[in-house]
Amino acid sequence: MTDTTLGALPIARTPDPVEAPALRWGILGPGWIAARFVEALHANTRQQVVAVGSRDHSRAGAFAAQWAVPTAHGSYEALLDDPQVDIVYIATTHPSHRDNAIDALSAGKHVLVEKPLALDAAGAREIVTAAARADRFVGEAMWTKFLPKFDVIRQLLDGGALGEIRTVLADHGEFFTPDHRIYDPELAGGPLLDLGTYPIALAHMVFGSFTSVIAHGQPAAPELTGQISALLSDAAGNQAVLHTTILSDTPTSAVISGRDATLHIGGPFFMPGPFTLTRHGGSPVLHYDEKPGTQTDGLHYAAAEAARLIANGRIESEIHPLRYAVATLEVADEIRSQL
Q: Which residues bind ligand NAP (CB under 6 A)?
A: 29-33, 54-56, 59, 91-94, 96, 114-115, 141, 143, 181, 187, 194, 295
Kindly tell me which of 78 and 255 has the beta carbon lying closer to ligand NAP.
78
Kindly tell me which of 204 and 279 has the beta carbon lying closer to ligand NAP.
204
C-alpha 277, offset from chain centre = 23
Helices (H) and strands (E) in the chain, counts: 10, 14
Q: How far is the CB of 57 from ligand NAP (least distance, A)?
A: 9
Residues 6+ apart with CB under 8 A from 132: none
For residue 193, with 0-12 CB atoms within 10 Å meaning exposed, 13-18 middle and 19 or more buried, which class applies? buried
Tell me how far apart the alpha carbons of residues 270 and 218 are, in angstroms, rounded to a whole number: 24
Kindly tell me which of 202 and 277 has the beta carbon lying closer to ligand NAP.
202
Nearest of 267, 263, 257, 185 to residue 226 by alpha carbon: 185
Q: How far is the CB of 187 from ligand NAP (least distance, A)?
A: 6
Q: How far is the CB of 54 from ligand NAP (least distance, A)?
A: 3
* Helix (H), strand (E) at residue 44: helix 32-44
Would you call 4 helix, strand, or coil by DSSP? coil
Find the catalytic residue in 115, 145, 149, 291. Answer: 115
Cα distances (angstroms) measured from residue 24 to each of 47, 62, 87: 7, 20, 6
Kindly tell me which of 258 and 268 has the beta carbon lying closer to ligand NAP.
268
Tell me how far apart the alpha carbons of residues 196 and 309 are, in angstroms, rounded to a whole number: 28
Kindly tell me which of 46 and 181 has the beta carbon lying closer to ligand NAP.
181
* Helix (H), strand (E) at residue 203: helix 197-207
- The residue number whose beta carbon is nearest to ligand NAP equals 31
115: annotated active-site residue? yes
Q: How far is the CB of 116 from ligand NAP (least distance, A)?
A: 6
Q: How far is the CB of 205 from ligand NAP (least distance, A)?
A: 16
Would you call 176 helix, strand, or coil by DSSP? coil
Cα three-residue angle 328-200-167, rounded to 5 degrees = 130
Q: How far is the CB of 167 from ligand NAP (least distance, A)?
A: 26
Side by side, which strands form the sheet with 87-90?
Answer: 71-73, 48-53, 24-28, 87-90, 110-114, 138-141
Active-site amino acid positions: 115
